[in-house]
Amino acid sequence: MSAPKTLYDKIWDAHVAHEADDGTCLLYIDRHLVHEVTSPQAFEGLRLAGRTVRAPEKTIAVPDHNVPTTLDRANAETMTEDSRIQVEALDTNAKEFGLHYYPVSDVRQGIVHIVGPEQGWTLPGMTVVCGDSHTATHGAFGALAHGIGTSEVEHVLATQTLIQKKSKNMKVEITGSLRPGVTAKDITMCVIGETGTAGGTGYVIEYCGQAIRELSMEGRMTVCNMAIEGGARAGLIAPDETTFEYCKGRPHAPKGAQWEMAVEAWKELYTDEGAHFDKIITIKGEDIAPSVTWGTSPEDVLPITATVPSPEDFQGGKVDAVRRALDYMGLEPGMKLSDVEIDTVFIGSCTNGRIEDLRAAAEVLKGKKVKDGMRAMVVPGSGLVRAQAEEEGLAQIFIDAGFEWRMAGCSMCLAMNPDQLSEGERCASTSNRNFEGRQGYKGRTHLLSPAMAAAAAVTGKLTDIRDLV
């Protein structure tokens, strides 16, 4: 019998197209997702070298970063000149190279990491890459998925492979069940709080344990999405009935006999008993609290019941980093996080822009109003999420509460389109990064779950969701 393998080992081994003597591999790529910001230089590189796209049928493109989310966005004038040029470049490249394409006018358009799974492009056991660090999202299906740079985008376009060396294996186990009010977002933020933003560097993380098994696919995508915030190249969750159920019937999932064949193969995608992990972290599900970030790194995270820490609570280079972060965030050590007043709420992004996220937020907002003077917006992750939310009556709940109901895109997660914070504005955001300037110049970001964001919209400050329901 061969040595026991981790889930990562199995997917890796199944995709090595060539291995050199020094262990450098050509890893075959099953799905290549493309968006407008990190691809134009790659397509230009192909043209200059007289090369073409090796597997256009495995390449899926959608504009998401730059696109406006206002209802009038069909009007090209809603975009700045440089954004328009970038989106038009993707239009042209998708057409010229024959890629699968979802233009802004298509109801299926949305954030690339939401569109991929929704359309059944992402399936268990696959290798998935995209010129975007949040490609880790697709690991929720038991697919090896990670972000790449533009040079690597060009490499995959030309060869359908990536030059890679194998990463190490890390296991993150969340035992038991989550307490009420605690979500997948809190799990993933809690793990980063534990490991730090560099704790996963050089690793692929497999998330497992009862609390992970009990998550929906939407929740699992939220967990894997932020693996990169812990430094890990990719996050993985072994596929199970929940996964198969989600994939079944999606437009690009296999059908009939091929579906049966695929499911049989997917059932082998688990970590063997006794397989080796280089690092193991175990967290009790019941110990995880609704969480919120206070600083300018995703590792600056605490339960909502905590107080703002002091630079002296840290060591080494982090002391100065925390001093800088508190200054940037306008917070004082010792202040209760639940006393922090906010003026903006953003619900959306590839972390929390799926239907389940909108349901969780709408549940909190039902019959309530956004506090006077606040700006609150919901940006569904795709046109189809938006349509479903309208059908389920969620959109009306948001609108009645005083939220702006927007079109799909990345929006204020990275503020490349007009959805931005102004200097000094403070936002409760369901996105993934609280870096300086991320949501707008000198904007201040507090990361949290959709339910917590909705609660903050009602009270005007960071709020423990457990006090509100």
Partner 1 sequence: MEKFKTVSGVAAPMPLVNIDTDMIIPKQFLKTIKRTGLGANLFDEMRFNRDGTEVEDFVLNKPAYRDAEILVAGDNFGCGSSREHAPWALGDFGIKVVISTSFADIFYNNCFKNGILPVVLPKEAVDVLMEDAERGSNARITVDLENQTVSATDGTEFKFEVDEFKKHCLLNGLDDIGLTLQKAASIDSFEAGYSAQAPWV
Which residues between 293 and 312 bind partner 1 (CB under 8 A)? 297, 299
Q: What are phi and psi of 127, to 5 degrees?
A: -105, 130
Which residues in 380-439 contact partner 1 (CB under 8 A)?
414-416, 433, 435-438
Which residues in 56-75 contact partner 1 (CB under 8 A)?
58, 65-66
Question: Which CB sits closer to partner 1, 73 or 146?
Answer: 146
- Burial pattern 204-233, b for ≥16 Cβ within 10 A else e, equals bbbbbbebbeebbbbbbbbbbbbbbbbbbb
Which tokens hold the place of 315?
């060591």
365 membership: H or E segment, kind and range: helix 355-365
Which residues in 245-264 contact partner 1 (CB under 8 A)?
253-254, 258-259, 261-262
CB under 8 A: which stretch of 5-13, 155-163, 349-357, 450-458 binds partner 1? Answer: 155-163
CB under 8 A: which stretch of 150-158, 178-186, 219-227, 343-351 binds partner 1? Answer: 150-158
Residue 76 interacting with partner 1 (CB under 8 A): no
Question: Which CB sits closer to partner 1, 168 or 359?
Answer: 168
- One residue of 82, 241, 264, 391 binding partner 1 per CB under 8 A: 82
Residue 366 interacting with partner 1 (CB under 8 A): no
- Cα–Cα nearest to 410, from 388, 390, 395, 430: 430
CB under 8 A: which stretch of 151-159, 168-176, 177-185, 367-375 binds partner 1? Answer: 151-159
Kindly state the smallest distance separating residue 390's Cβ from partner 1, in Å: 30
Q: Where does residue 424 fall: left (phi above 0), alpha (psi -120 to 50 degrees), or beta otherwise?
A: left
Residue 37 interacting with partner 1 (CB under 8 A): yes
Residue 122 interacting with partner 1 (CB under 8 A): no
Q: How many chain residues interact with partner 1 (CB under 8 A)?
A: 78
Measure Cα distances from 422 to 151, 294, 393, 441 in Å: 33, 19, 32, 7
CB under 8 A: which stretch of 184-192, 314-322, 387-395, 396-404 binds partner 1? Answer: 314-322
- One residue of 20, 74, 76, 107 binding partner 1 per CB under 8 A: 20
- One residue of 59, 69, 109, 161 binding partner 1 per CB under 8 A: 161
Question: Which CB sits closer to partner 1, 216 or 328?
Answer: 328
Cα–Cα distance between 252 and 119 in angstroms, integer?
A: 6
Residue 441 interacting with partner 1 (CB under 8 A): yes
User: Terminus-to-terminus CA distance in the chain, angstroms?
Assistant: 53
- One residue of 86, 352, 382, 429 binding partner 1 per CB under 8 A: 86
Question: Which CB sits closer to partner 1, 164 or 459?
Answer: 164
Helix/strand/coil (H/E/C) assignment for every residue in 392-458: CCHHHHHHHHCCEECCCCCHHHCCCCCCCCCCCCEEEECCCCCCCCCCCCCCEEEECCHHHHHHHHH
DSSP string over 142-206: T-EEEE--HHHHHHHHHHSEEEE---EEEEEEEES-PPTT--HHHHHHHHHHHH-TTTTTTEEEE
